[in-house]
Structure 1
């Protein structure tokens, strides 16, 4: 893939410093590097370290092909995880401290390369606001959301009388789209609005999804932008590897999975930005135990703003004797777990997830159906995409009931529904078929592969 023209172009990644955002752009970096294009990954030293330590699905030695720029930022408060708060707000000051070092990096690269391409998270737009002042440099905005989510967000904010077109009846638009009420705090909303002031100068937009999954919604977004030829839409996902190399040191849970029957285990994990209350942990534990199903449960608190800060935090507590009682059919993992490897394992038959887009696209690409339990942010609408549009999942609870404790009875019935009924088997079949289609799309000649080729051709033109 490498040619002389590619080596004259450099790409700079500017991720938002939350794990799911960091991870997505790290995987995209690996894809671009495979074309012989140098990639510079720019962020704070602590968050660059975090994403390298947690890299999944890739041999760690491949990290050496990416140029990490570890910028120092002033110390900041990193409070312990709290189930009632999102661990995102302490990160809001970071863009302010990255603007100057990132701009200096771009100026240095501009003097060296024929063209410098900046791929920045939409929540880091203020960091790269100087791109328009730097010669031979252009930016592409990355949306760490589903295409469905992004379109619905924009469409519902257009007054009915101003809708620029009608949506074809062949495209599924669920009648009951969850409200955004309760999804984010006022502080987060203000931060997003402030970043949005710097949107609109990018040369294109990048999505970590596949047209195989939700091409219709990306096409509607393209139509909303008026098919502006100067603003390209590149659907390049899934960024994550879809075939595991098997060369990494294997986590103990994978060895346990090797001993289980195909599709017999449900994986439970709520990502890096969710902490459960003690009461909810007890209900979940009881529901899993009563379901009689095999499971792997990643039970850990949400990340701090600084995931490597010192200080002891209260660890989640299980009912007394629980792990001993379920040891023959369940495993509780309290450390960072290799989610991609777990989802790719043939013993996994379902995934109870918060439906963050990073986890959702990984599960879809591995062909695993989802028990959708959205917690905040864009997750309620991702859950609708998974359950109502794609038909590869069930809801654990409605978003309107988010303030209520989810009972062990509900959890037990949901797990059984996904793992031990004809309906669940049909979802598993649909998820497997969709996963096959997604994996074919990233192979040579597939839709995502061709779109990646087109993106590379565009930035090296």
Structure 2
């Protein structure tokens, strides 16, 4: 990849304050910083801490030209998640989304400072935080490019039945700001995964607005930190298991399961008689470092009964490293786009249980188009409780059947085509050439 002239171009990253979005911008920062280019990652103090605390798969200390800018905004309330809400959408995050409007002036100040020292300032911003950049048209040498943190299939097939009216209005506002400032779109995707939808989207672009499919943004080869720090308990536990023998169960950082759902899932995993790692934690609040979190209860004696066959993790876990472990053979997932791309990157098939937002369309891509996963919960039956019988049956199919082996083989072949194809690296080179033209 071409090296960048440090005195010519500065790149500023402006993420949405939610884990899946922070994660993608930080991974992208790593990729561009590796070209010996200074990156300025700007967010609130709490969300910078969140991003740095949870980063994994690569060594942050290896990149000296990654600069973090702590921006201050007024205090706001961060309500707890509601596991009994009639929708799985994480409404508890909306106050933090709305509070990002206060980042406008701090971000503008940063851009003005950089614009005096560089020929061009490139802003890569989350498409859902466009209003922060309202002042950029008045700064002559600033260009803005959005990172679309969702799949292109979800953009092409979008429906509002997976979000709340409040969030729909928020998205509408951001789209209006984005249309005023945007020079191009970046996607955490590649043509091997979403070629049909990427081509379709490109045909509808306004003149002058480009797009680049630069994913997977997460590392394809993981950095081993065992000589630096003690591995997470999950990794040590996986070291003792057989290859492809464990299903990883995790529904991301924005989903809260009700007590009833947890009971059915627990019984289903037990009855499946398969090995599992289950990340059983409450969804994130707007500020993950404040307040108490709900402690989820399992059936009496459950952890003793599953014994050495099941590991319950009640805190954040290094998902990418778990998926990349040779013992992990399946992934029960909400089908968030980070999870989908990480699963493809590591060659792990999915048992799909979509919860909200782009996830139903991602599940469709995984199970119906790419055929690298099985449906655990049909989105059209989203109001129905997933039974323990359904959980046990799906887990057995994925982990211990000819059908599951075929699905696993397909995802391994897709992973190989993504790695060998090199399309996303060429797209990244194209983007670098464009911003350094």
Q: TM-score per shorter chain, which class?
A: over 0.9
Contact 2:4–2:37 (8 Å) recurs in 1: no
The aligned residue for residue 245 of structure 1 is 223
Contact 1:235–1:448 (8 Å) recurs in 2: yes
TM-score normalized by the length of structure 2: 0.95
SS across alignment from 2:329: strand
The aligned residue for residue 285 of structure 1 is 266
Q: What CA distance in whole angstroms lies between the structure 2 residues aligned with 1:94 and 1:212? A: 37
SS across alignment from 2:163: coil
The aligned residue for residue 155 of structure 2 is 150
Contact 1:11–1:39 (8 Å) recurs in 2: yes
Q: CA deviation at 1:63?
A: 5.7
The aligned residue for residue 363 of structure 2 is 383
**Is 2:233 aligned against 1:255?**
no
Q: What CA distance in whole angstroms lies between the structure 1 residues aligned with 2:252 and 2:63? A: 23
**Is 2:46 aligned against 1:46?**
yes
Residue 351 (structure 2) aligned to one of 371, 383, 392 = 371
Residue 178 (structure 2) aligned to one of 182, 193, 199 = 199
Q: CA deviation at 1:324?
A: 1.2
The aligned residue for residue 166 of structure 1 is none
**Is 2:134 aligned against 1:134?**
no
**Is 2:378 aligned against 1:404?**
no
Residue 98 (structure 2) aligned to one of 93, 102, 109 = 93
Q: CA deviation at 1:439?
A: 2.2
SS across alignment from 1:90: helix
TM-score normalized by the length of structure 1: 0.90
- TM-aligned CA distance change 1:404 to 1:112, over 3 Å: same
Q: CA deviation at 1:7?
A: 4.3
Contact 2:334–2:355 (8 Å) recurs in 1: yes
Residue 294 (structure 1) aligned to one of 271, 275, 278 = 275
Residue 452 (structure 1) aligned to one of 422, 428, 435 = 428
**Is 2:215 aligned against 1:234?**
no
C-alpha offsets along residues 260-312 of structure 1, whole Å, 9 cap, x if unaligned? 11111100000000011111101000000000000000000000111111x32
C-alpha offsets along residues 352-389 of structure 1, whole Å, 9 cap, x if unaligned? 00001011111111111100000111100100000000
Q: What CA distance in whole angstroms lies between the structure 2 residues aligned with 1:264 and 1:4? A: 44
Q: CA deviation at 1:4?
A: 6.0
The aligned residue for residue 421 of structure 1 is 401
Q: What CA distance in whole angstroms lies between the structure 2 residues aligned with 1:18 and 1:197? A: 21
The aligned residue for residue 11 of structure 1 is 11
Aligned length: 428
Q: What CA distance in whole angstroms lies between the structure 2 residues aligned with 1:223 and 1:4? A: 30
C-alpha offsets along residues 48-79 of structure 1, whole Å, 9 cap, x if unaligned? 11000000111131364311111111111111
Contact 1:7–1:38 (8 Å) recurs in 2: no
The aligned residue for residue 186 of structure 1 is 165
Contact 1:7–1:37 (8 Å) recurs in 2: no
Q: CA deviation at 1:152?
A: 2.4
Please provide the CA RMSD for this pair: 1.4
Q: CA deviation at 1:321?
A: 1.1
**Is 2:99 aligned against 1:121?**
no
Q: What CA distance in whole angstroms lies between the structure 2 residues aligned with 1:337 and 1:232? A: 36
The aligned residue for residue 334 of structure 2 is 354
**Is 2:296 aligned against 1:316?**
yes
Q: Where does the alignment leave 5 or more consecutive residues of structure 2 unmatched?
A: none
Contact 1:151–1:218 (8 Å) recurs in 2: no
Q: What CA distance in whole angstroms lies between the structure 2 residues aligned with 1:438 and 1:128? A: 34
Q: Where does the alignment leave 5 or more consecutive residues of structure 1 unmatched?
A: 154-178
The aligned residue for residue 340 of structure 1 is 320
